[in-house]
Structure 1
Amino acid sequence: MSVRTFRASVFTLAIAALAALGLAQPAFAAGENYVALGDSYSSGVGAGSYTSESGSCMRSTNAYPYLWRNANAPASFNFVACSGATTASVASGQLGALKSSTTLVSLTAGGNDVGFADVMQTCVLQSEATCVSRVDTAVSQMQSTLPGRLDSLYAGISSRAPQAHVVVLGYPRFYKLSGSCIAGLTETERGAINNASDVLNGVLAKRAANAGFTYSSVVDEFTGHELCSGDPWLHSVSIPVSNSYHPRAIGQSNGYLPAFRSVA
């Protein structure tokens, strides 16, 4: 082998190793035009350090879209995710950020369509039976009305950004069952809420696949870091109340960011 061939081989192996470690990503991301859409799980509610321009949308510099931008330096970055967003409000208020030149899109949406906040409030404040009934109502909505809403939103994204790689991210399971919590919700309530998260994630995955989008689960990343795990990456009932049941900064950096980065 000649010296030139040897050096070329070493260089090729080095680049492959860097890519495997994720260190070569910026070279490829430099051409990305990235738009971050979605609800509070994408805006970063609960992670602190909110940008002044975002107001009640509560976009955090600790949220996974911002962290990915910082690590990869894309050609453009438009962060429009907003606390409280539904599929309808993403469609009406956020899709204007998309362009034909958009190459990468991230999205979390669907939880607010089925009354996520009301479910958790009901379960915290009312009886076990009332909680389980409210969860069942949300699951019914996931299976009946939510698929059509997701299809409509996804079609709008495809229409405005036809060349984009679209990543739909799911939601974590909230609770470690038989965990360390000695107060709060019952195991029955926690199990019902976890099951609802699984159903929601299943709907998101199926509709994303039908749209030609990439679905990325965060369940594996958060396993061992649910509420009642002893090392939660989620807020429980908190002050301010808006933080409740949202990822902490570590949940964004160690949960959502790896799930997005693995498929972006």
Structure 2
Amino acid sequence: MRLSRVVGSVSALALTATLALLGAGPVQAAEKTATPGYVALGDSYSAGVGAGSYDSGSGNCKRSTKAYPALWAAAHTPASFAFTACSGARTGDVLTGQLGPLNASTGLVSITIGGNDAGFAGTMTTCVLNSESVCLDRIAQARAYARNVLPAQLDGVYSAISGKAPSARVVVIGYPRFYRLGGSCFGGLSETVRSAVNDAADALDTVIAKRAADHSFTYADVNTTFGGHEICSGSPWLNSVTLPVDESYHPTAAGQAQGYLPVFASAA
């Protein structure tokens, strides 16, 4: 009996040592399956404006339970989740009001930012209320801002994120094209304007993607999922002009769940 106990103990120790060498020990297995802390930064596209179901505690930031950060966190139960994205946010607002939750243990960060700096909300208002020529001039101004001014502003935000969360995987997400050209819309903006708006969105995304790459961040292109679901398509995932007006040209709940979430989940 004593000999069998000794043999059994030796066998158990040998098995434990073997599992540890193979990386299958209980502690290491837990470490591999643990989801790190997640912080969601950015503007209305990350907050979920346009998707409804807003958290009353978020006030004018209009954070939605149907926004892609909330959906991802609910599905993956990260060690911690801080949702600081806010409607209307610009790069300066991220720097002054959203980075507090970041720290050395933050493992994942998402962000959409830059559209408000370039003035795309004002651009769309101008286009809806004014002539085609005035609209095209305003689009050109937004593109010039994105090309000449925005890169340095993005650098400031991205550097601050790296400084506060040096170990985090940072996923920078772009903006979708608004319109399906040759689609089902009748009236409203001309096809010329719709094409110019799409080109400006592409130009903005190009700037954002380049700055993200230079900071070794991952860029996620949502046009891969929004294709065929733009305004003027048969099943749009973006609001056109709507009430409340701040929800215009923002993803619907379907746009968040089927447009943004899969792209973020793949990159995360």
- How far residue 53 of structure 1 moved from its aligned partner, in angstroms, is 1.0
On the 8 A contact 1:99/1:160 being kept in 2, the answer is yes
Identify the residue that residue 260 of structure 1 maps to in structure 2: 264
Q: Does 1:44 align with 2:52?
A: no
What's the counterpart of residue 142 of structure 1?
Answer: 146
Equivalent position to 2:156, from 152, 157, 165? 152
Q: Does 1:207 align with 2:211?
A: yes
Task: State which of 208, 224, 230 in structure 2 corresponds to 1:226.
Answer: 230
Residue number in structure 2 paired with 1:243: 247
RMSD of aligned Cα (Å): 1.2
> Which residue of the other structure, out of 150, 164, 173, is the alignment partner of 2:168?
164
Measured against aligned partners, the alpha-carbon deviations of 1:220-247 in whole angstroms (never above 9, x if no partner) come to 1000000001210000000110110000
Q: Structure 1 29/74 Cα, relative in aligned 2: closer, same or farther at 3 Å?
A: farther
* Deviation readout 1:171-196 (Å, 9 max, x if unpaired): 00000001100111000100000000
Report the alpha carbon displacement of residue 27 of structure 1 after superposing the two structures with TM.
9.0
Q: Does 1:74 align with 2:96?
A: no
Distance in 1, matches of 2:152 and 2:114, equals 11
Tell me the distance in 1 between the aligned counterparts of 2:188 and 2:236. 15
Distance 2:255 2:34 in 1: 26
Describe the superposition over 1:41-93 as per-residue Cα deviations: whole angstroms up to 9, x where unpaired.
00000000011110000000000000000111111000000000001101111
Moved more, 30-39 or 134-143: 30-39
Match of 1:193 in 2: 197
CA distance in 1, matches of 2:254, 2:267: 20
Aligned residues: 239
Change (3 A) 1:210 1:29: farther
The answer (yes or no) to whether the contact 2:35–2:76 under 8 Å persists in 1 is no
Does the alignment pair 1:125 with 2:129? yes
CA distance in 1, matches of 2:117, 2:148: 12
Q: d(CA) in 1 for partners of 2:185 and 2:99?
A: 41
* 1:120 aligned partner, one-letter code: M
TM-score (norm 2): 0.88
Moved >4 Å (runs of 4+): 26-29
Seq. identity, %: 59
Give the distance between the partners of 2:226 and 2:73, measured in 1 at CA.
Answer: 22
- Report deviation, 1:29: 6.4
**Match in the other structure for 1:23:** none
Shift of 1:97: 1.5
Q: 2:101 aligns with which of 97, 102, 105?
A: 97
3-state SS of paired residue (2:172): strand
Rounded to whole Å, the distance in 1 between the matches of 2:197 and 2:151 is 20
Preserved contact between residue 47 and residue 252 of structure 1 (Cα < 8 Å): yes
- What is the TM-score when the length of structure 1 is the normalising length? 0.89
Partner letter of residue 256 of structure 1? Y
Gaps of 5+ in 1: 1-25
CA contact (8 A) 1:38 1:109 kept: yes
Aligned pairs for 1:4-23 within 5 A: none
Q: Which runs of 5+ in 2 are unaligned?
A: 1-29
Query: What CA deviation, in whole Å up to 9, does each residue of 1:195-231 have, x standing for no partner?
Result: 0000000001000000010000000100000000121
Secondary structure at the counterpart of residue 247 of structure 1? coil
